[in-house]
Amino acid sequence: MAFKTLFLAHAPDGDKEKHHCFIDTGKYQLDVVIVKNQAEALEVSTRLFREKKIESILLCPGFSHKDIAEIVGATENKVAVCVARGDGPSNRISQEALKRAGFF
């Protein structure tokens, strides 16, 4: 039996139908999906919770506390939801890189 995880990230040009991948080591299954917005994040989280019985969701730092709470609710509070957050210097570096890439 494998541990099943979903990694979600936001990108302004994300297409959940096109920008996704799946890795299976046997003991660990990882779905990665790039979404355009919170509505897509909720749809993907709910669908994979129901269809694949995911046990963990890892979120990129772009998810707000409200977004996280909505995902917890959409997965019936039965999935571990974790957020990747960096320290102060790392966050500044990431923000500048995202700005240069046109995220905002």
Q: Given a cut of 90, is residue 31 above it in pLDDT?
A: yes
Number of domains forming the structure of the chain: 1
CA 41-43-45 angle, to 5 degrees, is 65
When pLDDT is averaged across residues 28-56 and rounded to a whole number, the result is 98
Average pLDDT, the chain: 94
- Tens-place pLDDT, residues 67-89: 999 999 999 999 999 998 888 88
Q: What is the DSSP letter of 60?
A: -
Which residues constitute the domain of residue 30?
A: 3-101
pLDDT at position 8, please? 98
- For position 67, which CATH number holds? 3.40.50
pLDDT at position 95, please? 86
Q: Tell the residue number behind the tokens 């969701």, with chain if given.
A: 57
pLDDT at position 61, please? 86
CA 44-28-62 angle, to 5 degrees, is 40
